[in-house]
């Protein structure tokens, strides 16, 4: 039984085939990247996996369970978290509160019960303390102390992206889907994120499926790369294999294909 498996997944919108027979398989603890030109179907793949879209056909299995047809919150509760291409946070709430909201998925006592019923030493109170501890740990881990008590809406874009990552981590997913995690970040933030992705995998044991245009990041962190073009899977393999795949060079990288020593800087979107 594989940890995570997508099999022959198709998504058709009216006449448009956004995904055609896409398959991929992930081992626990691996990092797989999904790349491809704009409109290739990458986000659609994430939306099908997380239950926002119901695929036209195909199957998605997580730890042996079929998840197609389940509701997004059910899929999240099974342990699949995600971030969005366009940041989806509560902009008038602080970083801390955004992370706590992500965390509340885990709360047996429900999101708002803390506000209404909170005896000292009660189970709800103990849980709240544990959740806050976890959230503070993530704030430290992602170097977000400076943003902790600030409204998310007023933070620079790159920092908001990190807060969104933090919120997804707060849910303690086993599989985390990141839709363009470094888009809009400056070089330093991107480099930091590359380290963090490695740490997320190593320290938290989280399996990562990452959509990314930044070839340097993709080549550096991925175990496997899936390439989509107009909804068609055109290549799937190690960074080396994909990098030298003629169809990939033609469809995606063009003449900007990275060579081994420049790390692919030229291929930035
Ligand atoms: N809800 C929808 N209804 C109709 N068409 C859709 C819907 N969602 C996506 N599409 C179409 O599916 C195709 C794939 O879109 P998708 O957003 O998955 O691409 P992408 O690879 O994520 O692109 P980008 O790199 O620009 O984010 C596009 O042609 C898009 O217009
Ligand atoms: Mg997209």
Count the neighbouring beta carbons within 10 Å of the beta carbon of residue 159. 20
Distances (CA, A) of 131 to 114, 138, 242: 12, 11, 41
pLDDT above 90 as % of the chain: 61
Q: What is the pLDDT of residue 244?
A: 85
**Contact between 236 and 224 (Cβ < 8 Å):** yes
Digit-coded pLDDT (tens) for 84-142 = 988 889 999 999 999 998 887 655 444 444 444 556 677 778 888 888 999 999 999 99
Q: What is the pairing mode between strands 232-237 and 224-229? A: antiparallel
Confidence of residue 44 (pLDDT cuts 50, 70, 90): very high
Domain spans of the chain, in order of start: 1-79+173-269
The lowest-confidence range among 41-45, 143-147, 240-244, 246-250 is: 246-250
Q: How would you class 120 by CB atoms within 10 Å of its CB: exposed for 0-12, middle for 13-18, buried for 19 or more?
A: exposed
pLDDT at 261 exceeding the cut of 50: no
Nearest to 269 by CA among 40, 83, 45: 40
Task: Report DSSP letters for 87-121, one per residue.
Answer: ----TTSBHHHHHHHHHGGG-TT-SSHHHH---TT
Chain mean pLDDT for the chain: 87
Q: Is the CB of 18 under 6 A from ligand 1?
A: yes
In this structure, which topology does domain 1-79+173-269 adopt according to CATH?
Answer: Rossmann fold (3.40.50)
Of 35-39, 156-160, 167-171, 241-245, the range with the lowest mean pLDDT is 241-245
If you measure from the C-alpha of residue 85 to the centroid of ligand 2, how many angstroms do you get, rounded to a whole number? 6
- Could you identify the atom of ligand 1 that is nearest to the CA of residue 211? 22
Would you state the pLDDT for residue 122? 76
pLDDT band, very low/low/confident/very high, at 260 (cuts 50, 70, 90): very low
Q: Is residue 234 within 8 Å of 225, Cβ to Cβ?
A: no
Quick one: pLDDT band at residue 256, thresholds 50, 70, 90? low
pLDDT at 1: 79
The verdict on the CB of residue 232 being under 6 Å from ligand 1 is no
Give the whole-angstrom CA distance, residue 151 versus residue 132.
18
The enclosing H or E element of 139 equals helix 123-141
Supply the pLDDT for residue 265.
42
When mean pLDDT is compared across 64-78, 125-139, 220-234, the lowest value belongs to 125-139
Q: At what angle do helices 187-204 and 157-170 cross, to 10 degrees?
A: 10
The H or E element containing residue 188 is helix 187-204
44 CA closest ligand 1 atom index:
18
Q: Is 40 in the pocket of ligand 1 (CB under 6 A)?
A: yes
Helices 157-170, 123-141: inter-axial angle, 10-degree rounding: 140
What is the per-residue pLDDT across 156-200, written as a single tens digit (0 to 9) for each? 999 999 999 999 999 999 999 999 999 888 888 888 888 888 889
230-233 long-range contacts, CB within 8 A, separation 24+: 230/17, 230/39, 230/40, 230/41, 231/11, 231/17, 231/18, 231/19, 231/20, 231/22, 231/40, 231/41, 231/44, 232/20, 232/21, 233/20, 233/21, 233/22, 233/23, 233/24
Ligand 1 atom 31, closest CA? 39
């Amino acid at each position: 039984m594989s940890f995570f498996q997508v099999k022959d997944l198709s998504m058709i919108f009216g006449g448009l085939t956004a995904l055609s027979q896409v398959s991929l398989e992930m081992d626990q603890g691996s990092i797989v990247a999904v790349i491809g030109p704009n409109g290739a179907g990458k986000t659609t793949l994430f939306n099908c996996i997380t239950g926002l879209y119901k695929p036209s056909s195909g199957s998605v299995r997580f730890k042996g369970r079929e998840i197609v047809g389940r509701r997004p919150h059910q899929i999240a509760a099974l342990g699949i978290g995600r971030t969005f291409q366009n940041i989806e946070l509560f902009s008038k709430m602080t970083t801390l509160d955004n992370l706590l909201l992500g965390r509340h998925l885990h709360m047996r006592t429900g999101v708002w019960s803390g506000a209404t019923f909170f005896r000292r030493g009660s189970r709800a109170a103990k849980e709240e303390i544990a959740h806050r501890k976890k959230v503070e740990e993530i704030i430290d881990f992602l170097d977000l102390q400076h943003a902790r008590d600030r409204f998310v809406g007023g933070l620079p874009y790159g920092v908001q992206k990190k807060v969104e990552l933090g919120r997804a981590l707060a849910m303690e997913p086993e599989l985390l889907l990141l839709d363009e995690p470094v888009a809009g970040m400056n070089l330093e933030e991107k480099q930091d994120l590359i380290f963090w992705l490695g740490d997320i995998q190593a320290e938290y044991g989280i399996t990562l499926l990452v959509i990314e245009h930044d070839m340097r990041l993709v080549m550096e962190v991925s175990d496997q790369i899936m390439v989509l073009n107009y909804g068609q899977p055109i290549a799937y393999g190690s960074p080396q294999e994909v990098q030298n795949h003629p169809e990939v060079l033609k469809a995606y990288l063009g003449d900007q294909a990275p060579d081994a020593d420049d790390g692919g800087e030229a291929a930035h979107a």
